[in-house]
Amino acid sequence: MRKIGIALCICIICWPGYTAEPDFDAIFKSIDSMSTFEQNDFSSVMTIVSDDPEEGRKVMKVNQFRRDKDDKFLILILEPATQKGQGYLRIEDNLWFYDPESRKFSHSSFKENFQGTDAHNSDFRKRSYSRDYKVASWEEGQLGKYDVYILNLEARNDEVTYPYEKLWVRKDNNLVLKAEDYSLNKRHMRTSFFPNYTKVGDKYLPSKMLFVDELTEGRKTQITMTNISLENLQDQVFTKMYVERVNR
């Protein structure tokens, strides 16, 4: 009986259509480590181009600073001139929005869209697929010239922004090429594309991202990252005082 079992296993494994289940924990850890900077600080300049069929094209340039080990980030708007000096500062669980006109900080939410674009405020903080999602199903596929795993994810808790997500992950280096976000009732809400990566230190960072709104026709946002640096930042960068001072 034991021999039959072993033989059956060998047959299944050697069957032409059979593929061994990938190590999802390792994939998630790899994805998380690519987008998380526990050892260093991170800074970059992002150019955000949002297209809205009703409001036309808007271009925004922001400076992004992150210190993931302390769960802190700061986004300062550089352009357009009318919004220059506005900033989002995360201190612990609070996300503050600073308006230089009123010189006041107000509470914001990670789940809000960033400045009316298709990017969420949460897109600029560290993410953890290992913590938030589990793989419900998977398959192999091809995206462009790359062999990919197509992972259908389900949120592990009911506080994750998108309860369902579908990821296209490159087999060779675990880079996410495409993601689809779904609502609680599994309606396709947003598609994200990560066509370009840049190597910084030992990490690959998406230097270009495209977010397509699947609910509102014609709405999309493209983010390009430049001046990427892993140099350590001064502690005062992640303070309200800095946000106020940098605007003077």
Strand partners, 152: 137, 166
Nearer to another protein, 54 or 231 (CB): 54
Q: In degrees rounded to 5, what are phi and psi of residue 143? A: -130, 110
Residue 211: in which H helix or E strand, if any?
strand 203-213
- Structure tokens belonging to residue 203: 């990490």
Distance, in Å, from the CA atom of 13 to the CA atom of 7, rounded to the nearest integer, reads 10
Nearer to another protein, 216 or 232 (CB): 216
Ramachandran assignment for 30, one of left (phi > 0), alpha (psi -120 to 50 degrees), beta (any other): alpha
Q: List the one residue from 13, 19, 25, 53 that touches another protein (CB under 8 A).
A: 53
Nearer to another protein, 106 or 234 (CB): 106
Q: Are 45 and 62 in contact (CB under 8 A)?
A: yes
Of the candidate spans 75-83, 132-140, 157-165, 199-207, the one that interacts with another protein by CB under 8 A turns out to be 157-165
How many CB atoms neighbour CB 66 within 10 A? Answer: 25
The verdict on 173 binding another protein (CB under 8 A) reads: no
The verdict on 54 binding another protein (CB under 8 A) reads: yes
Q: List the one residue from 45, 49, 143, 155 that touches another protein (CB under 8 A).
A: 155
Q: List the one residue from 161, 198, 224, 239 that touches another protein (CB under 8 A).
A: 161
Residues that bind another protein (CB under 8 A): 52-54, 93, 111, 155, 157-163, 181, 183-185, 187, 189, 215-219
